[in-house]
Amino acid sequence: MNIQLHTLSEVTGFNGRPGHFTVTVQKHPRYIDMDKCIACGLCAEKCPKKVPDEFNMGLNKRKAAYIKYGQAVPLKYVIDGQACIYLTRGKCRACEKFCPTGAINFEDKGETVQLQVGSVILAPGYKPFDPTGWDFYGYGQISDVVTSLEYERLLSAGGPHMGHLVRPSDETEPRSVAWIQCVGSRNTNNCDNGYCSSVCCMYAIKQTLITAEHAGAHSIQQTVFYMDMRSPGKEFERYYENAKTRGIRFLRSRPHTILPGPGGNGVCMRYVTEDGAVHDENFDMAVLSVGLAPAPESRQLAATFGIDLDPYGFAQSANLSPVNSSRAGVFVTGAFQAPKAIPRSVTQASAAAAAAAEALHAVRGTLTRRKSYPVEINVHGQAPRIGVFVCSCGINIAGVVDVKAVAEHARTLPHVVLVENNLFTCSVDTQDQIAARVREHQLNRIVIAACTPRTHEPLFQDTLREAGLNGYLIEMANIRNQNSWVHQREPAAATAKAKDQVRMAVAKAALADPLETLTVQVDPKALVIGGGVAGLTAALGLAEQGYATVLLEKSAQLGGNARRIAFTAKGEAVQPWLEHLVAQVRNHPAIEVLTEARMKTAQGSVGHFVSDIDVNGHVRTIHYGAAVLATGAAESCPNEYLYGQDERVLTQLALDRRFDTDPDAFAGDGSIAFIQCVGSRDAQRPYCSRICCTHTMRSAIALRERHPHINVYVLFRDIRTYGKREALYQRARELGVVFIRYTRDRKPHVTADADSLSVACTDPILQMPLVLKVDHLVLAAAIEPNATEELVSIYKCGINADGFLNEAHPKLRPVDLAVDGLFVCGMANYPQPIEESLAQAQAAVARACVLLSQQEMQLDAIKSMVTDRCDGCALCLDVCPYRAIRLVEAVGQNGSTTRRVATDPALCKGCGLCAATCPKGGIFVQGFTPDQLRAQVTAALQVVNE
């Protein structure tokens, strides 16, 4: 509602200063009136011009009048001015003749608007690398060579073959598929993309697993050709291991040429394995795992906004201010800043939102509006008057289900006074029509037979409220997702099922009661747990946005792990920055810092929590509306490679400490070796610690630059310098650092004598055993989470098997915890470098501010309710996953005590487990009362009983 969408628009001018920017936006013509278009699709159906569909990577055709995809937002058609026959050659106008609402407007000239804004966020994204020019892969010449994004569309149910996986050349199902990794990434030879694209290893694994699902009974032989397998994210390593156990072949090799397969179908690849053997192998399809490249338009955009780009063409930003561009007031996020996966993009987007809002918090709410609704009509005691609206959803439903027959059936049902069939029940004009019908016919219950309530119920509830009805007097029958989409081949049975669904919905709606939404007052204060860089940044961000914040730190000092880190991966000095950050936090009037503090208890829920805090022996009570958990992680203590037994064996941080205090501490050494993955990616900690490869690169480079005479060896399993960090790996190799790979079942063996340490390993390229004599051995020890059991049990939030706090949704809510009002950032969530911790901390600020900026919060009204029949047996307590139920004792009039359960509506999510468990009807969920469910079942069985 407070977002104005400018589609088909480009920024052409930009000036002003932070807080007062003027942006010129050129809006290109759509040739279709957005207010009139009801997305019926007739224009596209009648349009005679076909062009390649860029949404499906040109694998099929679309019309010149089109929508990008079925669920497009805004769901309005557009005419492609470059392709339209009328606009290019002056004849046709077929769409105009057939458009039922007169929405076509060929006079549309577009417009230029000037917008005044306080901050700008740039998120123009990336462009998949285009391998067209590379003749050795034959892309564009051999039809069975596709890019990974084309393959993604082939797998998709919305794709050119409706999710039926076939190869392009002859549309047969492939029996063998090969992926080639790092196409257009980690390559300075054929292109200038020296960076790692961060996502290709993981999406290739995903595609293999999904392909296996598609294959069903007959298996598809799948091979992934890779350089290093990079799965340095939460649950990523397990995903990779899982793929290995499913029979997917991972080969460390790089096929140099793809040739057409036998008979012109499929491909033939020649590749060399590590033992030097040459193989020729045929595959039915080859997928090029293309990297993420900066979009060419981004360069123009950067020029318009006057911001700097890095040598690759991504936006330049400092590691200690990860979303700030080189221009104040302009923030950068997403794959425009660096190649990254969805969760990091989402996190960084929230971080950019926080940064953009920080300068504007004084004027928060000045340009936004809130919706107001008329007073609700009291429907108590009224006989039900039900209006049924049957949606055709274009042809989505009407193409299978006979909607007219469903509507006729609805007319015969009890209490139904009005039935209408709409082309799109969700379109804006139909919403107005529904509101008008409610008033005309005094309807007091509404049944919508359309799609899923998950996406559309809020819209219809809103319409009801605008018409003066309680939003819960609606019932939806999902005759699309649960019917027309899954019964496409049986229209008669689908129509019968749709009738059943509508009958059930009407029966339930007749018993619907208006429900009152619960309002929670929000305490505009925040609590941050953990005084590392993530916690400090979160506390400062919240305070800068105007919320009083308490920062808890269990030790006596602020700064956490960062106190032991000298430089970021980009070489920025950490200590001066950290000192400044700590001083800012300590001196901020809105922040209270409590060191040597521990949380004892937490009561309440989102919007108003109450906690007892033990501060150095004294207990204090604090109130807050939201909390950010930034409890961090730490370098683990290795238990192998003679660590602790020989003082020449160090961890990375110990090396840093000695090197930083005395750069010549290792001047007398002849050789130093690093061993990677010490305690990571093994049985005990089956995850990648993400930061150690980059850390080792920095140390190795520093050593070689300072002392070129020292031989530096790195023993690794996969080098995981993801994103722009790949440049460090390249620099290390240029400086002569020797990289030797080992495998988990053939770990290096370390022995010590008085002169030196001996590291025995096998070189996979030489195929020979090696013994390295080194003066120091550095172990890249795993990062393990700080103990959070206490906090987890206090807040009832979740951790994964490795002990890291679990986010509510790994993609879309990466900093929210499953408990509303709690947020996570920093290494408590997963091991990550400073820049990612900072971005996550800022993201947590943005998410917490969404909550704290509300004076009061409306909660959903679907909640559990305790009835008189509850006898306090407490069976429901055990099954409630949100711990919203507790046992209370009440003293009756005669002095006897009765036990009852009570529910906390703020915690209850209305899942209904309690109602299903209760043996005596002592608890039920509003909106799903036993009477309503019974009526639904009776209605469903009506046909059978007749």
Partner 1 sequence: MIDIRIGQLAQTFDVHRNTIGNWIKSGRLRAVSTVGKRYLIEKEEMIRFCMSAGIPLQRIAALTGSDVPPSPSERPIIPSPIKREVRMSAKPIGAVMVVGGGIAGIQASLDLANSGYAVHLVERSAGIGGAMAQLDKTYPTNDCAM
Question: Taking CB under 8 A as the rule, does residue 333 contact partner 1?
Answer: yes
Question: Residues 584 to 603: which contact partner 1 by CB under 8 A?
Answer: none
Nearer to partner 1, 245 or 368 (CB): 368
Question: Taking CB under 8 A as the rule, does residue 259 contact partner 1?
Answer: no
Question: Taking CB under 8 A as the rule, does residue 277 contact partner 1?
Answer: no
Type of residue at 577: W
Question: Taking CB under 8 A as the rule, does residue 356 contact partner 1?
Answer: yes
Question: Taking CB under 8 A as the rule, does residue 730 contact partner 1?
Answer: no
* Smallest gap from residue 449 Cβ to partner 1 (A): 23
* Smallest gap from residue 240 Cβ to partner 1 (A): 9
Q: What single string gives the DSSP state of each residue in 483-519?
A: IITT-TT-HHHHHHHHHHHHHHHHHHHHT----PPEE
* Smallest gap from residue 85 Cβ to partner 1 (A): 19
Nearer to partner 1, 74 or 133 (CB): 74
Contact segment (CB under 8 A) with partner 1 among 71-79, 446-454, 655-663, 701-709 equals 71-79
Nearer to partner 1, 274 or 308 (CB): 308
Nearer to partner 1, 426 or 761 (CB): 426
Gyration radius of the chain's alpha carbons: 31
The span from the CA of 141 to the CA of 151, in Å, is: 16
Length of the chain: 946
Nearer to partner 1, 484 or 611 (CB): 484
The span from the CA of 736 to the CA of 498, in Å, is: 71
Nearer to partner 1, 73 or 375 (CB): 73
* Smallest gap from residue 485 Cβ to partner 1 (A): 13
CA 283 to centroid of chain Cα atoms = 34
Question: Taking CB under 8 A as the rule, does residue 164 contact partner 1?
Answer: no
Neighbours of 176 (CB within 10 A): 17
Q: By rule CB under 8 A, what count of residues binds partner 1?
A: 97
Question: Taking CB under 8 A as the rule, does residue 7 contact partner 1?
Answer: yes
The answer to whether residues 855 and 522 touch, using CB atoms and an 8 Å cutoff, is: yes
Nearer to partner 1, 1 or 766 (CB): 1
Nearer to partner 1, 112 or 557 (CB): 112
What string of H, E and C letters represents the secondary structure of 681-725? CCCCCCCCCCCHHHHHHHHHHHHHHHCCCCEEEEEECCCCCCHHH
| Cα–Cα–Cα angle for 617, 522, 19, rounded to 5 degrees | 105
- Give the Å distances, CA to CA, from 620 to 4, 360, 464, 550: 45, 33, 47, 12
Among 348, 631, 832, 837, binds partner 1 (CB under 8 A): 348
Question: Residues 787 to 816: which contact partner 1 by CB under 8 A?
Answer: 810-811
Nearer to partner 1, 361 or 554 (CB): 361
Question: Residues 439 to 498: which contact partner 1 by CB under 8 A?
Answer: none
Question: Residues 899 to 918: which contact partner 1 by CB under 8 A?
Answer: none
Residue in the structure block whose two tokens are 């009139």: 36
Nearer to partner 1, 59 or 738 (CB): 59
Site string for partner 1, 288-327 (x = CB under 8 A): ---------x---x--------------------------
Question: Taking CB under 8 A as the rule, does residue 19 contact partner 1?
Answer: yes
* Smallest gap from residue 131 Cβ to partner 1 (A): 17
Nearer to partner 1, 451 or 791 (CB): 451
Question: Taking CB under 8 A as the rule, does residue 137 contact partner 1?
Answer: no
* Burial (Cβ within 10 Å: 0-12, 13-18, ≥19) of residue 356: buried
Torsion angle of the four alpha carbons 406, 409, 410, 411, in this order, in degrees rounded to the nearest 10:
130
Eight-state DSSP code of residue 71: T
The span from the CA of 787 to the CA of 798, in Å, is: 13
Site string for partner 1, 28-47 (x = CB under 8 A): --x-----------------
Question: Residues 849 to 908: which contact partner 1 by CB under 8 A?
Answer: 849-850, 853
Find the helix or strand (DSSP H, E) in which 849 lies: helix 834-852
Q: Which of 436, 443, 440 is nearest to 384 (CA)?
A: 443
Question: Taking CB under 8 A as the rule, does residue 334 contact partner 1?
Answer: yes
* Smallest gap from residue 867 Cβ to partner 1 (A): 36
The span from the CA of 594 to the CA of 574, in Å, is: 23
Question: Residues 635 to 664: which contact partner 1 by CB under 8 A?
Answer: none
Look up residue 933 and give its two tokens. Answer: 């469910």
The span from the CA of 395 to the CA of 401, in Å, is: 9
Nearer to partner 1, 25 or 428 (CB): 25
| Three-state secondary structure call for residue 398 | coil
Nearer to partner 1, 402 or 816 (CB): 816
Among 342, 634, 865, 874, binds partner 1 (CB under 8 A): 342
The span from the CA of 822 to the CA of 599, in Å, is: 14
CB neighbour list of residue 100: distance below 8 Å, 6 or more residues apart:
38, 40, 42
Nearer to partner 1, 162 or 766 (CB): 162
Question: Residues 138 to 157: which contact partner 1 by CB under 8 A?
Answer: 149, 152-153, 155-157
Question: Taking CB under 8 A as the rule, does residue 162 contact partner 1?
Answer: no
Q: Which of 741, 616, 736, 599 is nearest to 672 (CA)?
A: 736
* Burial (Cβ within 10 Å: 0-12, 13-18, ≥19) of residue 4: exposed
Question: Residues 383 to 422: which contact partner 1 by CB under 8 A?
Answer: none
* Smallest gap from residue 922 Cβ to partner 1 (A): 37
Question: Taking CB under 8 A as the rule, does residue 937 contact partner 1?
Answer: no
Among 503, 704, 720, 847, binds partner 1 (CB under 8 A): 847
Main-chain dihedrals φ then ψ at residue 489, nearest 5 degrees:
-95, -5
Question: Taking CB under 8 A as the rule, does residue 159 contact partner 1?
Answer: yes
Find the helix or strand (DSSP H, E) in which 864 lies: strand 864-866
The span from the CA of 601 to the CA of 135, in Å, is: 65
Question: Residues 104 to 133: which contact partner 1 by CB under 8 A?
Answer: 115-126, 128
Half-sphere exposure at residue 624, Cβ-oriented, CA atoms within 13 angstroms: 26
Question: Residues 735 to 794: which contact partner 1 by CB under 8 A?
Answer: none
Question: Residues 176 to 235: which contact partner 1 by CB under 8 A?
Answer: 202-203, 205-206, 209-210, 233-235
Nearest-10 crossing angle of helices 574-587, 533-544:
40
